[in-house]
Amino acid sequence: MIKNLMVGLALIGMAGCSSSKELITDNTLSKKEKKEGWVLLFDGTTTNGWHTYGKNEVGAAWKVANGTLYLDATNKAGWQTSGGGDIVTNEAFENYHFKVEWKIAPNGNSGIIFNVKDDRSKYKHVWYTGMEMQVLDNNGHPDAKIRKHRAGDLYDLIESSQETVKPVGEWNLAEIIQNNGQLELKLNGTTVVKTTLWDDAWKNLVANSKFKDLSDFGVFRSGHISLQDHGDNVWYKNIKIRKL
């Protein structure tokens, strides 16, 4: 009888432990995240909160399936996709911590572009104003042969301090932290880029990059966040942000 009582108490204890552990699924926020002020930018089922750059809604090539927001690049249109185009958040952000998980198709290329000025009448592409954290298949895409063009790099400006990208087809966690002129990029939990924005050193970086002739590149202290259509299949999920 004592033995049965001890077994019963053990089972109750195990049940108590399991019930107290919060189960977190994709595209949801934990209680801790909600308390810290995180908000979702993708609900897992719709494209609400996003639009194609220069348009009012998201193009048909951007689809939602299995809890992911993905680009179906089947129908090419130059270096982009018919019915695709870069998508941007409806809201602009200044000081923030942004997180997203991404995976890329073999030989694929995409990017997370931030501080975008949402004005296509003045700026033809999001990268005329916004900086990019590169999304790339480092082992398959030719861009990977160029320093500062590999996954996790601040594209064409600063290369990652170390390579932490996972093999193609696996999910990567990217983070962009911008706070009062300090920029930090993290890939899979490791800080890979850290720099100061808008000072003389920053201006010198831009002046020696492919963006040197774009007068408004990297100058805006706030802006929209964009997911790039570079003509390749790419998937995103768990897109969230916390204002700082």
* Between 210 and 11, the higher pLDDT residue: 210
Strand runs (DSSP E) across 82-161, as ranges? 87-89, 96-104, 109-116, 131-136
Average pLDDT of the segment spanning 191-198: 98
Tokens of 195: 């720099």
The predicted model gives 207-226 an average pLDDT of: 98
pTM given for the model: 0.91
- Give the residue from 89, 99, 95 showing the smallest Cα distance to 221: 95
**Domains of the chain and CATH, by start:** 24-243 (2.60.120.560)
pLDDT digits (tens, 9 = 90+) for 81-138: 999 999 999 999 999 999 999 999 999 999 999 999 999 999 999 999 999 999 999 9
